[in-house]
Structure 1
Amino acid sequence: MTDLDTRTAPPRPGSRYTGALHRAVPALAAYAAVRALGLVVLSLWSAARGSSPHTLLSARWDSLWYTRVASLGYGYEIRLPNGDVHSDLAFFPLLPWLERLGATLTPLSYADTGLLVSALASLAAAWGIFSVVDHVYGTEEGPQALRGEGAGHGRTGVYAVVLWAALPVGIVQSMAYSESLFTALAAWSLYAVLTRRWVTAGVLASLAGLTRPVGLAVVAAVWAAALVSWVRERRALPAAGAPWPRRALGMLLAPLGAAGYVLWVGRRTGGGPLGYLDVQAGWRNGFDGGLAFARFIADKFTSPPSAAAGVGLILGVALLLWLYMVCVRQGQPLPLLVYAGVVTALALCASSYFGSKPRLLLPAFPLLLPLARTLSRARPPRAAAVLGGVAVASAVYGAFWLNGSGPP
């Protein structure tokens, strides 16, 4: 796979980014339409139930923890009757920092700033996903697609973005949660890796590591791609040796965000380098290789009414594993495979609250690429009908979900 900047003549100053944004406009418009549909359905559903969509999006569940950190700093915890301790140190700091910055510079509240950050980040994520997919698969759409000619250019990227927007838990992208911010940083870091901008990739990976614990997946992707490319270049240029300074700097920068926060938590709690794991243990979060999740699924088969849910969970896990194997067979670039693999493994093998697993899988957008490629080969009306139906189903489920159990 050749680099994006080697496909065409060198662009005029500033034209690269203008052209990239122009090419992504259909994807961004489609993304905005899907998310707008979700918000409209949520508003109608909430009105019928007498609930507030604004509260559901900005002031419930984890959103409350983020805004509390933004307004008061770290140090709040809840001690439950069973002895568990829920500490706000479990929540990584980048989103609260942005909420505090926004509330300081604008009249918005912390919660509303969180919604604004999520909205802007979700658009940045959609653009990043499109850019990654278009870089990897744009050549499949012919030379006209690469020049940006024709109304249908970039279909695979557009379809990938719409699929991401229309995931069953896609409504989280519109909440004051950190998933949209993390996905934006992860997607653009992966794009920087694919286009060999190592320092940019490292900086974005470091910021992703300040956003969510799964930032480890971005760091792993940067490191894997850097090491493999270094080995390949060294073999190709044995006499001169492979250039390394910018690649090494990117690798050095990538883990700094996550490592810095984890070490700070360890020092604050007195738990040493692994103190963050003790904080997560207070929330009953950990990594057990999926044993707790397997027991959770097995428990569903103890009674006939819940057996259908157990079957559904098994089919869902099987679908994820199948999609990942298709990604491997289709030859996705190494950084995408590493990133999606680590995100999926951390989500499925964690012993955290099992209802949160679909939300934890939200950043794993490379798993959607096989579906996007299949849709890109279908007739546009048929693809539009499929995506439209999925978007409606996602909007209805999102409204039902937030007015019910919601994302923990």
Structure 2
Amino acid sequence: MQTELLVTESRVERLTRHMLAPAGIYLAVRLVGLVVLSVLAATHDRTLLDVLTSWDGDWYLGIAERGYAPTGDGLVDAAGNSTPNTTLAFFPGYPMLVALGGWLTSASLPFVGLAISLGAGVVAAYGIARLAGDRRVGLICVALFASTPMAVTLSMFYSEALFSACAAWVLVGVMERRWWLAAACCVGAGLVRPSAGVLIAIVVLAVLLHGRTSRGLFAAIICPLGLGGFLLFVADRTGSLFGWFELQLAGWGTGFDGGQATGEFVGNVLTSDASVMETTNVLVILGALALCVVTVVRRMPWPLVVYGIGLFVMTAGSSGVTYSKMRLLVPAFTLLLPVAVGLARRRTSTVLAVLAATAVLSGWFGGYALTAWRYAI
């Protein structure tokens, strides 16, 4: 009897470790980043909470507190202006969730927002691990995702973690033909980021190719409601069908130009004495482009390829604040899968050394971007 109990306990322990591995790895990497960030913040006489809620965090916090009312707190767009509609440039999914969490718990909204980002990052980690199809590859990909150059935003009062979670489980739903899961998460993603347009296209195409059932077709109809609903809300508030795009262009100079602005930026950086932030941005853009090609060459499942390339095209193909390119590419986790596959073939000691190095470097760069770099990320 005692032997049977020991065997059962051993199995339970192994199962527990197996189930907790994605969360444990993600949280461990992010903890390294936060420790490094706290040290750098202290050297600049700032608190950790202050840097984690800076830049777009101020806008999201304002929306969580007041909705889409005029800010009245000195916040301005990149052009230095603030209008009654400026806040409409920010999608409602994340701040609405923060407001709900604050109402349910009576906790301080900054802490609620950071907790939501933490939880969403864990949810994203499980989705990424599941998409990999191989346990070792999946766990390595989770670690790489948590240590991309601007992975610090996954721990901030930002929407990157929430969008990544929605996107990962949209793709899980598509890959496993679980149309309701894909549609529900797609609606959520559409309330968080405009790049949900890529996910909508993937869901609709997947339904047409593999799921022409009543459930699949209904899911294809449902999936655009989040993104479409918010864009129509902004159109009603601004009096223009393209109101959200006009706000982005007027306030942040952001519009799709086919990559002209990004190409000019890359050319300028490569031929000048550029800063660390600018140089790293260019390296990430070029690296992401190379990984787009690799995902095609390696014949990864088409939804994962389309998602990665789609996010890259939307990011590199748009003008605006060039320094935000790295942040906008954080949710493009499918581009990391070829790297994870390559690392998975190495010895465990090599994998651990590489992942530890990337975690520390990511922590330092995130800290640099939030404390030493004086422009928005």
1:289 matched residue in structure 2: 258
1:205 matched residue in structure 2: 186
**1:280-359 correspondence to structure 2 within 5 Å:** 280-283=248-251, 284-300=253-269, 304-306=272-274, 315-359=283-327
5+ residue gaps in structure 1?
Answer: 1-18, 139-153, 231-242
User: Contact 2:34 / 2:363 at 8 angstroms: preserved in 1?
Assistant: yes
Task: Provide the TM-score with structure 1 as the length reference.
Answer: 0.82
Secondary structure of the structure 1 residue equivalent to 2:242: helix
Query: For 1:24 and 1:398, how far apart are their aligned partners in 2?
Result: 29
Task: Provide the TM-score with structure 2 as the length reference.
Answer: 0.89
1:90 matched to 2:115? The reply is: no
RMSD value, Cα: 2.3
Query: Which residue, 357, 366, 371 being the options, matches 1:398?
Result: 366
5+ residue gaps in structure 2?
Answer: 1-13
* Deviation >4 Å, runs of 4+: 19-22, 77-86, 307-315
How far is 1:313 from its partner? 5.5
How far is 1:23 from its partner? 3.6
Structure 1 letter corresponding to 2:92: P
Query: Which residue, 250, 255, 259 being the options, matches 2:224?
Result: 255
Query: For 2:36 and 2:160, how far apart are their aligned partners in 1?
Result: 21
Query: For 2:30 and 2:78, how far apart are their aligned partners in 1?
Result: 39
User: Contact 2:281 / 2:326 at 8 angstroms: preserved in 1?
Assistant: no
**1:23-172 correspondence to structure 2 within 5 Å:** 23-58=18-53, 60-76=54-70, 85=82, 87-134=86-133, 138=134, 154-172=135-153
Query: For 1:225 and 1:39, how far apart are their aligned partners in 2?
Result: 38
Query: For 2:79 and 2:197, how far apart are their aligned partners in 1?
Result: 31
Count of residues paired in the alignment: 357
Secondary structure of the structure 1 residue equivalent to 2:274: helix
Query: For 2:66 and 2:15, how far apart are their aligned partners in 1?
Result: 40
CA 1:22–1:203: 2 relative to 1, 3 Å: farther
Structure 2 letter corresponding to 1:355: Y
2:4 matched residue in structure 1: none
% identity of equivalent residues: 36
User: Contact 1:221 / 1:335 at 8 angstroms: preserved in 2?
Assistant: yes
How far is 1:305 from its partner? 2.2
Structure 1 letter corresponding to 2:112: T
Query: For 1:403 and 1:354, how far apart are their aligned partners in 2?
Result: 18
Structure 1 letter corresponding to 2:69: G
Structure 2 letter corresponding to 1:28: A
CA 1:310–1:82: 2 relative to 1, 3 Å: closer
Query: For 2:304 and 2:77, how far apart are their aligned partners in 1?
Result: 40
CA 1:191–1:116: 2 relative to 1, 3 Å: same
User: Contact 2:37 / 2:366 at 8 angstroms: preserved in 1?
Assistant: yes
User: Contact 2:269 / 2:282 at 8 angstroms: preserved in 1?
Assistant: no
Query: For 1:374 and 1:274, how far apart are their aligned partners in 2?
Result: 43
2:233 matched residue in structure 1: 264
